């Protein structure tokens, strides 16, 4: 009996649902062959995968994406876009593709093999490239996400951070990507199926999440499990979720704490290394297929499943129940039962949670939105017990201390001589006078003597300088400190990049020191404007190199209109009003 037939028979035997397409893939080679391929892979073209590609690879190799055996070729890709199916007709809603640059693609010979590596250079798999093709990213965004609006994180990634060429081909797995965090909570579909068998679990309802779970989630999952007579699998995505989400380390601590609030032996926790696309209905279908591969017989789809929030006009990208409708439409061929659920809300008068559609006029409904929860965490305000469990609040508070203890960056930007350093020093003095927070100053001149020594003033060098400042600031903020940065930072793109780096860990406060050029030039503290006018310095900001005015900084201060003390007062008052000082 060949391996495929054996797999089908065993799937029938264990009474767990069959995997998608009938075959649970396992693309890892046996140990000796994997060892030989690892040695051989050193001679192949090397490719370091980004986080999304690494997540995709892991689920391709371990069978989470069964029946796929590699990255999609053109025919599969086209049909997935057009009607959510592989070329052979199997339901598959999200394109799993390997994007590269044109230069990398051009360097490959026909039928090339390439080594796919993690960020440490460890070879994980070899891809035999069967097809090289140019996708139309705009068409892909429209088909998969239904929009080309870059506010959608999946669209932004596709249009701005995805290579122009796709490589299709089959994979041979060498070794699993290493995870040193929560290793005991990570399982392949094969492992999880084995665990279900050992524990006699046959009906299993899976729950997907990218957020910390509170009482509403507990009620919802318990009701869903009870409704279909199944055990519960809490399977949060921990690969990559929506930018700005609570990090998975914190979330997993919350899930673990919550697990103690389920009836014994009724709920299990397993982490899914999925790179979410936030693709709403299509993504929900994909999630269901993946859970089926892990052996779940049922899948909970709540309100706004995998929703990316609102578009540029403030309207939701997807109808909150579109995912449930799409899954219902494919019910017969999906092979995993969908358990649709409305939002759960708290009725204070009954001191209980209810599905929204069971609420009546007399009920006093209470809810705390994600935004409100973040606000309360930031301000240190209380979070009621009806909303979540005290252990969960404690974990979230440790991770998100009230503003007064959370790190942030003050990023002064403006022309040379505008007053950035002077103002930074004055604000520094205020912060040190009134608080005990560690403060790091990354002044333009100072940085250029150390961190950015050797860099000049070309666009490339200036961008590198600002990225370095942003990186150091983000580390300071990550550890709860205050970073005060004061470079010219003339280019909007680099400023935004610094913002992204910092915002992963705390607030980024951009302060445009908007002193007019004439005033800066009249001050000419260092004689550089005169030298620039005389042509002795080339590419001087404001003279013969541009300064891109910040469009929407948190604050704008013109030092020609105020004394140093006044200007520092404006900044400090703003920090106070935001709870940062």
The beta strand positions in 379-494, using DSSP E, are: 408-413, 439-443, 482-486
Work out the angle between the directed axes of helices 153-160 and 137-145 (0-180°, nearest 10).
Answer: 170
CB 14 within 8 A of CB 204: no
Could you say which of 418, 452, 465, 474 contacts ligand ADP (CB under 6 A)? 418
Q: Do 168 and 131 touch, CB atoms closer than 8 A?
A: yes
For ligand PPS, the closer of residues 255 and 540 by Cβ is 540
With beta carbons less than 8 A apart as the criterion, state whether 512 and 549 touch: yes
Is residue 419 a contact point for ligand ADP (CB under 6 A)? yes
Report helix, strand or coil for 220: helix
Q: Between the CA of residue 74 and those of 87, 142, 169, 220, what are the distances in Å?
A: 9, 17, 10, 41
Show contacts with ligand PPS in window 100-139 (CB under 6 A).
Answer: none
Minimum gap (Å) between residue 486 Cβ and ligand PPS: 7
The site partner of 523 among ligand PPS, ligand ADP, none (C-beta below 5 to 8 Å per kind) is ligand ADP
> Which of ligand ADP, ligand PPS, none does 487 bind, CB closer than 5 to 8 A by kind?
ligand PPS
436 annotated as a binding-site residue:
no
Report the residue from 161, 405, 479, 526 that binds ligand PPS according to the rule CB under 6 A.
526
Q: Radius of gyration over alpha carbons of the chain, in Å?
A: 27
Question: Is position 457 an interface residue for ligand PPS (rule: CB under 6 A)?
Answer: yes
Q: Is 115 within any annotated ligand binding site?
A: no
Report in angstroms how near the CB of residue 132 gets to ligand ADP at its nearest: 50
Residue 193 appears among annotated catalytic residues: no
Q: Identify whether the C-beta of residue 54 lies closer than 8 Å to the C-beta of residue 123.
A: no
Whether 209 is catalytic is yes
Interface with ligand ADP, residue 553, by CB under 6 A? no
Residues of span 535-564 touching ligand PPS by CB under 6 A: 537, 539-541, 545
- Flag whether 184 is marked binding: no
Q: Answer yes or no: is 474 a known binding residue.
A: no
Q: Is 418 annotated as a binding residue?
A: yes
SS3 131: strand
Residue 69: how many other CB atoms lie within 10 Å: 16
Compute the distance between CA of residue 382 and CA of residue 373 in angstroms, rounded to an integer: 10
Stretch that binds ligand PPS, among 178-186, 266-274, 299-307, 458-466 (CB under 6 A): 458-466
**CA 531 from centre of chain:** 47
525 an active-site residue?
A: no
Q: Select the residue interacting with ligand ADP from 37, 144, 409, 486 (CB under 6 A).
A: 486
Give the Cα separation of 139 and 162 in Å (integer): 14
Q: Report the side by side order of strands in the sheet with 231-234.
A: 267-269, 231-234, 204-207, 298-301, 337-340
241 binds ligand ADP (CB under 6 A): no
Q: Kindly state whether residue 420 participates in binding ligand ADP, applying the rule CB under 6 A.
A: yes
Contact 519, 557 (CB under 8 A): no
- The distance of closest approach from Cβ of residue 524 to ligand ADP in the complex, given in angstroms and rounded to an integer, is 9
Element of type H or E holding 556:
strand 555-557
- Nearest approach in angstroms of CB 556 to ligand ADP is 14
Output DSSP code: residue 561.
Answer: S
CB 235 within 8 A of CB 336: no
Residue 541's binding partner among ligand ADP, ligand PPS, none (Cβ under 5 to 8 angstroms by kind) is: ligand PPS
Binding segment (CB under 6 A) for ligand ADP, from list 78-86, 104-112, 139-147, 560-568: 560-568
- Contact residues toward ligand ADP (CB under 6 A) are 414, 416-423, 486, 523, 525, 559, 562-564, 567
Residues in binding site: 414-421
Residues identified as active-site: 209-211
């Amino acid at each position: 009996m060949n391996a495929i037939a054996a797999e089908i028979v065993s799937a029938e035997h264990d009474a767990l649902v069959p995997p998608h397409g009938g075959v649970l893939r396992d693309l890892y080679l046996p140990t000796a062959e994997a060892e030989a391929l690892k040695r051989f892979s050193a001679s192949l073209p090397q490719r370091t995968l980004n986080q999304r590609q690494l997540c995709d690879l892991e689920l391709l190799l371990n069978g989470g994406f069964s029946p796929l055996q590699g990255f999609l070729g053109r025919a599969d890709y086209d049909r997935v876009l057009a009607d959510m199916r592989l070329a052979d007709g199997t339901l598959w809603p999200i394109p799993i593709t390997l994007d590269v640059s044109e230069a990398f693609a051009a360097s490959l010979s026909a039928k090339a093999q390439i080594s796919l590596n993690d960020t440490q250079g460890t070879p994980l798999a070899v891809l035999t490239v069967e097809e090289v093709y140019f996708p139309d990213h705009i068409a892909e965004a429209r088909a998969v996400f239904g929009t080309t609006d870059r506010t959608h994180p999946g669209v932004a990634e596709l249009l701005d951070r995805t290579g122009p060429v796709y490589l299709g081909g089959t994979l041979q797995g060498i070794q699993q990507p290493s995870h040193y965090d929560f290793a005991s909570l990570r399982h392949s579909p094969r492992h999880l199926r084995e665990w279900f068998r050992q524990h006699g679990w046959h009906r299993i309802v899976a729950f997907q999440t990218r957020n910390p779970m509170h009482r509403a989630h507990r009620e919802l999952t318990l009701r869903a499990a009870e409704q279909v007579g199944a055990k519960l699998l809490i399977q949060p995505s921990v690969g990559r979720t929506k930018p700005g989400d609570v990090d998975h380390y914190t979330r997993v601590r919350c899930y673990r704490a919550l697990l103690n609030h389920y009836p014994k032996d009724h709920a299990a926790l397993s982490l899914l290394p999925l790179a979410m696309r936030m693709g709403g209905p299509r993504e929900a279908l994909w999630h269901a297929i993946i859970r089926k591969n892990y052996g779940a017989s049922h899948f909970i789809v709540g309100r706004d499943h995998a929703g990316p929030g609102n578009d540029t006009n403030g309207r939701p990208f997807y109808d909150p129940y579109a995912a449930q409708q799409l899954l219902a439409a494919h019910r017969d061929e999906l092979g995993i039962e969908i358990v649709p659920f409305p939002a759960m809300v708290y009725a204070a008068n009954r001191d209980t949670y209810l599905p929204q559609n069971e609420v009546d006029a007399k009920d006093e409904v209470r809810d705390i939105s994600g935004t409100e929860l973040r606000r309360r965490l930031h301000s240190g305000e209380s979070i009621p017990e009806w909303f979540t469990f005290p252990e969960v609040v404690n974990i979230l508070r440790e991770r998100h201390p009230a503003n007064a203890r959370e790190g942030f960056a003050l990023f002064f930007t403006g022309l040379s001589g505008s007053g950035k350093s002077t103002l930074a020093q004055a604000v520094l003095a205020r912060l040190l006078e009134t608080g005990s927070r560690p403060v790091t100053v990354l002044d333009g001149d100072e940085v250029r003597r150390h961190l950015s020594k050797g860099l000049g003033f070309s666009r490339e060098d200036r961008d590198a300088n600002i990225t370095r400042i942003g990186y150091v600031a983000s580390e300071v903020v990550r550890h709860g400190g205050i970073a005060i940065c004061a470079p010219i930072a003339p280019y909007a793109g680099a400023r935004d990049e610094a913002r992204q780096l910092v915002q992963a860990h705390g607030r980024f406060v951009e302060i445009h020191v908007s002193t007019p050029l004439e005033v800066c030039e009249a001050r000419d503290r260092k004689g550089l404007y005169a030298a620039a006018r005389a042509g002795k310095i080339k590419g001087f900001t404001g003279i013969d190199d541009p300064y891109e005015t910040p469009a929407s900084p948190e604050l704008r201060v013109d030092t020609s209109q105020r004394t140093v003390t006044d200007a520092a007062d404006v900044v400090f008052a703003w920090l106070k009003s935001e709870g940062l000082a």
